[in-house]
Amino acid sequence: MKLAVLSGKGGVGKTLLSINLSTILAQEGYKVLLVDANFSAPTVATYFRTVPNTHTLDEAMSKGAVNPNEFVWIHPSGVHFVTPSFNLVGLDDQTLQNIFTILTPLFPNYDFVILDGPAGVEKDVYYTVTNSDAAIIVTNPNYPALYNALKVNYFVQAMRKPVVGAVLNMVTGKDEVSREEAQHIVETPIIGEIPYDPEVKKAVNAGQPIVLYNPNARASKAFYDIAEALLGKKLQKRPKGGGLDDIVRKIVQWLLG
């Protein structure tokens, strides 16, 4: 299964979802390749606290590398990932084609290929969707993000690829569009809701997926729910909860009534 993670507006949480979904799937025993397909503004490696100066897609292209060991990174979580360097500029058709010529032979080796895409509906998104089986759209619960998510939905549909649904991220439950209205706007089912969670920033600073940094964080629970929704079954390795965080939150909720 090759899943493109897309959005209309930037900065809505595509990479956060891609990294955590990949980590959960790898922990379940699936072979996962996470592709940083945001070639013009890559962030996957930096989320893992790595600066990709070598073993990159552009280096592989210039060397004509065919050995995956030359450009596939292996994160301790079990996730394999590939990334461009920060030197890759000028994304013309030929470059995008060359990147996927290197990448696609790897795909059959994996149970899941997660393509962390760029925002919008430009050429790079076209190549990401072409090389995927389906797309998931990430959005925030506000009108600019939602209507641009709708635009991406139309774009993917025009390419005759299925959209498995949308994920609402940075949900605060206050002064924002409701889940029902959001679903109505994006014209695809909302398959998950991720709360705005200050733990995310801590996990990013620690260079770890939040599902490993704090499996009981509210955002982590949302990622586990989304993984279960996508797989259509319960996870075997889902943390049981009941950690200190959980207990403190329950007490606070109880005190607040």
Ligand X SMILES: Nc1ncnc2c1ncn2[C@@H]1O[C@H](COP(=O)(O)OP(=O)(O)OP(=O)(O)O)[C@@H](O)[C@H]1O
Interaction site with Mg ion (CB under 5 A):
14-15, 43
Question: Closer CB to ligand X, residue 155 or residue 254?
Answer: 155
Tell me which of 2, 4, 6, 14 binds ligand X, using CB under 6 A: 14
Q: Are 120 and 150 in contact (CB under 8 A)?
A: no
Residues 6+ apart with CB under 8 A from 43: 15, 36
DSSP 8-state assignment for residue 117: E
Residue 96 parent element (H or E): helix 93-103
Give the chain's length.
257
Shortest reach from residue 180's CB to ligand X, in Å: 20
Question: Closer CB to ligand X, residue 16 or residue 186?
Answer: 16
| Residue window 149-168: x/- pattern of binding to ligand X, with contact defined by CB under 6 A | --------------------
Question: Closer CB to ligand X, residue 63 or residue 123?
Answer: 123
Cα dist from 215 to 62, 132, 220, 244, whole Å = 40, 29, 6, 11
Shortest reach from residue 220's CB to ligand X, in Å: 10
**Residue 123 touches which of Mg ion, ligand X, none (Cβ within 5-8 Å per kind):** none
| Residue window 28-67: x/- pattern of binding to ligand X, with contact defined by CB under 6 A | ----------x--x-x------------------------
Separation of alpha carbons 74 and 71, rounded Å: 10
**Residue 204 touches which of Mg ion, ligand X, none (Cβ within 5-8 Å per kind):** ligand X
Asked if residue 170 binds ligand X (CB under 6 A), the reply is yes
Separation of alpha carbons 214 and 196, rounded Å: 15
Question: Closer CB to ligand X, residue 174 or residue 234?
Answer: 174
Tell me which of 219, 226, 227, 230 binds ligand X, using CB under 6 A: 219
Shortest reach from residue 37's CB to Mg ion, in Å: 9
Asked if residue 13 binds ligand X (CB under 6 A), the reply is yes
Shortest reach from residue 15's CB to ligand X, in Å: 3
Q: Is 233 exposed, middle or buried, given 0-12, 13-18 or 19+ CB atoms closer than 10 A?
A: exposed
Looking up tokens 């998950």 gives 192
Shortest reach from residue 38's CB to ligand X, in Å: 5
Task: Please tell me the number of Cα atoms within 13 Å of 186 on its side-chain side.
Answer: 35
**Residue 196 touches which of Mg ion, ligand X, none (Cβ within 5-8 Å per kind):** ligand X
179-186 and 143-158 are packed helices; what angle lies between their axes, rounded to 10 degrees? 40
Separation of alpha carbons 89 and 85, rounded Å: 9
- Judged by the rule CB under 6 A, the positions of this chain that interact with ligand X are 7, 10-16, 38, 41, 43, 119, 169-170, 194, 196-197, 200-201, 204, 219
